[in-house]
Amino acid sequence: MRLGGPAFHSLNETRPVGNHSTEHDVRMPEAPLTFNQTVKGVTEFIEVAVHTILYVRQIYPADLFIRRKKYDTPVFQSRHPALNAYISGAVKAIGEELVKGTVDKVVVVIKDKEQVALERFIFSIENMVQVEAFNKDTRWALYREGPSKRNSKTYSIEDAMSSRSLGQYFRSFLVKLSMAESQLGPLNTEGDPSFAIVLELKDNAVPSAPRPTEPAPWIPANAQDTTPGAADDAELQMIRAVNTGIINLSLAVQESGAKLQREKAAMKAKKAASAKPLEVVEPEKPNP
Partner 1 sequence: MDPPVSSQTNSSDYYDEDDSAFLEALTTTVLPGDIVQGDDEISSPEVSQELTPPPPSQPFLKRTRLEAFAERGKSAQVDRAADDDVYGASHFGEFGEYMRRKRAKLQIQNADIEENAGSGSKIFESLAIYINGYTQPSTQDLRTLITKHGGVFQPYLDKKSIVTHIVTCSLTAAKMREFKHMKVVRPEWLVESAERGVLLPWRNYIFTPNERSEPTLGSTIKQPNLLDTSTSSPATRVRKNANSPFNTPVKQTGERHLKGAVTPVIKNPPPLYQQPRKDTPRNAFPTERLSRGQIDTKIAMLPSKLAPPQQVTDAKKVVPVYAADTSNPLATRVMANPDWRKAHTSVAPDFIEGFYKNSRLHHLSAWKAELKNLVQEAQERAETIGTGELVGRIKSEVNGESAGVSMRGAELVMKSPGKSKGKEKAVDDRVIMHCDFDCFFVSAGLVSRPQLRGKPVVVCHSQGGPSSTSEIASASYEARSFGVKNVLDKLGNFVRPSSPSLTSLRGEYKQLSLKFYTILMNHADDLQAVSVDEALIDVTSVVMQLRSRGSQDPAAVDSAKDFAEMIRAQVRKATGCEVSIGISHNILLARLATRRAKPAGSYHLVHDEVKEFLAPLNISDLHGFGWSTKQKAQEKLGTATLGELMDKSKAVLCDVLGKSTGETVYNALRGIDDKKLESDKPRKSVSCEINYGIRFENSEQAEVFIYQMAKEVAKRLDDIGMVGRSVTLKIMKRDPTAPVEPPKFLGHGACDLYNKQISLIGPGGRATSDERVIGEHAYRILRSFNFDPKELRGIGIQIQKLEKPSSGGTGVKQAVLPFRSAPSPKKPMPPPAAPQIHVHPPSDDIPQPVEQESSAKAQAVDLPSFSQLDMEVFNALPNDVRKELENEYQRRSTSPFVAGPAPAPAAPARLAGPIRKDIFPKNIVVKGPNYQQIVRQQRPWNRPSISPAKNPLFKKKARAGASKLSDAALQKLNIDPEVFRGLPPALQHEQLTMLRLIKERGKIPSPPSKRKVLKPRKRKPIPAHLLWRAPAPQARWVTPPILRQQGKQKKEKFFFTETGDIQGAIEGWMNTYRRWAPKEKDIEFFTKYLVASVDGEKHTDVGVERAVAILKWWLVLLRRYWGGSEYVDDEGYMDPSQGDPVGEAWWKAFRETKEKMDVVARERFGGRLSLR
Q: Does 257 bind partner 1 (CB under 8 A)?
A: yes
What is d(CA 215, CA 211) in angstroms, rounded to the nearest whole number? Answer: 8
Per-residue interface string for the shown chain with partner 1, residues 57-76, x marking contact by CB under 8 A: -x--xxx---xxxx---xxx
Q: Which lies closer to partner 1 via its Cβ, residue 134 or residue 213?
A: 134
Q: Does 112 bind partner 1 (CB under 8 A)?
A: no
Q: Which lies closer to partner 1 via its Cβ, residue 213 or residue 287?
A: 287
Of 11, 21, 28, 135, which one interacts with partner 1 (CB under 8 A)?
135
Q: Does 190 bind partner 1 (CB under 8 A)?
A: no
Cβ within 8 Å of residue 90, ≥6 positions away: 50, 197, 217
Read out DSSP for 33-72? PPHHHHHHHHHHHHHHHHHHHHHHTTSS-GGGEEEEEETT
Q: Does 285 bind partner 1 (CB under 8 A)?
A: yes
Of 205, 227, 262, 263, which one interacts with partner 1 (CB under 8 A)?
227
Q: Does 194 bind partner 1 (CB under 8 A)?
A: no
Q: Does 166 bind partner 1 (CB under 8 A)?
A: no
Give yes or no for a contact between 255 and 264, defined as CB atoms under 8 angstroms apart.
no
DSSP bridge pairs for 16: none
CB of 207 to partner 1, least distance (A): 14
Of 14, 25, 144, 265, which one interacts with partner 1 (CB under 8 A)?
144
Of 56, 108, 110, 118, which one interacts with partner 1 (CB under 8 A)?
56
Q: Does 234 bind partner 1 (CB under 8 A)?
A: yes
Q: Does 9 bind partner 1 (CB under 8 A)?
A: no
| # residues contacting partner 1 (CB under 8 A) | 104
Q: Which lies closer to partner 1 via its Cβ, residue 3 or residue 215?
A: 3
The closest alpha carbon to 121, from 134, 111, 106, 131, belongs to 106
Sign for the CA dihedral angle at 82, 86, 91, 92 comes to positive
HSE-up of 184 (CA within 13 Å, CB side)? 30
Q: Does 117 bind partner 1 (CB under 8 A)?
A: no
What is d(CA 247, CA 131) in angstroms, rounded to the nearest whole number? Answer: 12
CB atoms within 10 A of CB 167: 17
CB of 115 to partner 1, least distance (A): 18
Q: Does 116 bind partner 1 (CB under 8 A)?
A: no
Give yes or no for a contact between 32 and 141, defined as CB atoms under 8 angstroms apart.
yes
Q: Does 206 bind partner 1 (CB under 8 A)?
A: no
Of 106, 112, 124, 172, which one interacts with partner 1 (CB under 8 A)?
124
Per CB under 8 A, which region of 37-45, 108-116, 212-220, 272-280 contacts partner 1? 37-45
Q: Does 242 bind partner 1 (CB under 8 A)?
A: yes
What is d(CA 59, CA 194) in angstroms, rounded to the nearest whole number? Answer: 6
Give yes or no for a contact between 89 and 218, defined as CB atoms under 8 angstroms apart.
no
